[in-house]
Amino acid sequence: MTEPQDPPRFVVQLHDATTLHFDLRLESGGVLRSWAVPKGPSLDPAVRRLAIPVPDHELEAAEFEGVDHGPNGTGAKIIWDEGTVDLTRDDPDHVSFNLHGEKLRGGFALAQTGPDSWILIKMRDEYARRDSDIVGDQPHSVRSGRTWQDVARDG
Ligand code: MN
């Protein structure tokens, strides 16, 4: 059982399930609030990425890298980024936060746009990068250096 840590943590996992997607998880209140982000985060403030809310996960979920056997896809999951998070706004339909990860830094916001849809955007700050593609440029796990395909192949 992992105890809540101070400061709170975040993780972004890249997960090959029914479709390849990213899972963004922010520690808050002793759980990981979670969204599935099909295209993953962007550092470009002009880009709005769909984020689908999913049930809270236990803190232990942030530690998992490996194959999570499910009905679809290979189930491979890597820790694409991780670090600490400061929540600066935590409303039911809007969450603002600063990430201190290896790939993701600075301000981000999640805003609800529909019953089951939110958007993830990068705030304009010194860590914003216009026209960048961090998902494409940096596909590896920050824990192991492996890609999700490496994990899938090694089982
Ligand atoms: Mn997932």
| pLDDT over 80 at 8, yes or no | yes
3-state secondary structure (DSSP) of residue 105: strand
| 88/126 Cα distance (integer angstroms) | 17
Q: What is the pLDDT of residues 84-120, one digit of tens each?
A: 999 999 999 999 999 999 999 999 999 999 999 999 9
Distance 53 CA to ligand 1 centre (A): 11
Q: What is the pLDDT of residues 35-57, one digit of tens each?
A: 999 999 999 999 999 999 999 99
pLDDT at 24: 98
| 27/39 Cα distance (integer angstroms) | 21
pLDDT at 155: 75
pLDDT at 98: 98
Distance 124 CA to ligand 1 centre (A): 28
Band of pLDDT at residue 3, cut at 50, 70 and 90? low
Map out the domains of the chain as residue ranges: 9-154
Distance 133 CA to ligand 1 centre (A): 21
Distance 52 CA to ligand 1 centre (A): 11
Number of H helices, E strands in the chain: 2, 9
Q: pTM here?
A: 0.94
Distance 21 CA to ligand 1 centre (A): 6
H/E/C letters for each residue in the chain?
Answer: CCCCCCCCEEEEEEEECCCEEEEEEEEECCEEEEEEECCCCCCCCCCCEEEEEEEEECHHHHHCCEECCCCCCCCEEEEEEEEEEEEEEEECCEEEEEEEECCCEEEEEEEEEECCEEEEEECCCCCCCCCCCHHHHCCCCCCCCCCHHHHHHHC
Q: Are 136 and 65 in contact (CB under 8 A)?
A: no
